Structure 1
């Protein structure tokens, strides 16, 4: 598993207190299919997609990339009229529920484009789910959410 992290307090849309939100990526990939350099390039692609889709800076990121064997990653090869290869991946992105559809569309496209450019992953091989959650469900550490208005 590759975990890439950095500063959280300066990322995303600011609220009234100046605190910013930040998406969290989880990529599930076939074991031994991608090199360490390619996995690092995936993390770079994800954060570049944040900049393009959500106008966020690329210097902060939270990305987890997990490898799965054939007995732990099951991706339908043609669902949705796709032609997936053995290099297909699943990407989950937890985002604040406040993002508009127009930004989400741009973001989805940017993920696929950047993965293609940086890693050579075909568009049909990228299955993405965006998981919108309330901002107060994000904690950057210390066991509290800077977005929680209290009871």
Structure 2
């Protein structure tokens, strides 16, 4: 169900990128009711000039290691679930990758279930 896009500065190791993806996947499994094996991620590195962002916003100061996470998923999760989800990702990013929590920017894009096909041209979730 969720489709995850993670965009970050070029130069991080394959292990770093894999761990970042696992941080997001585990938080989805633990906090926003994502089933096992529902893991679809694209992790893309960019040259420094290709990430254009403010130096600061809403009290957060961003470094050159800013990470943009966009997740397209079915609608229906509570605000409380989303807040816990955001916090878990930032906390795990800090503890597992020694990253700055300020550098995690997350955007959820909620869609109706019929907007998915997981293969064979079938809308598996459409009723």
TM-score, reference length from structure 1: 0.77
* Alignment match, 1:147: 125
Consecutive unaligned residues of structure 1, counting only runs of 5 or more, are 1-21
Consecutive unaligned residues of structure 2, counting only runs of 5 or more, are none
Structure that is richer in helix per residue: 2
| Aligned-partner Cα distance in 2 for 1:137–1:56 | 17
* Alignment match, 2:56: 78
Contact 1:48 1:58 in 2 (8 A): no
* Alignment match, 1:49: 27
1:58-117 Cα shifts (integer Å, max 9, x gaps): 544111110111231112121121121111111101111122222111111122122222
* Alignment match, 1:7: none
TM-score, reference length from structure 2: 0.90
Residue of 68, 81, 91 corresponding to 2:69 = 91
How many equivalent residue pairs? Answer: 127
| Aligned-partner Cα distance in 1 for 2:123–2:29 | 23
Question: Which moves more between the two structures, 49-58 or 102-111?
Answer: 49-58
RMSD across aligned positions (CA): 1.5
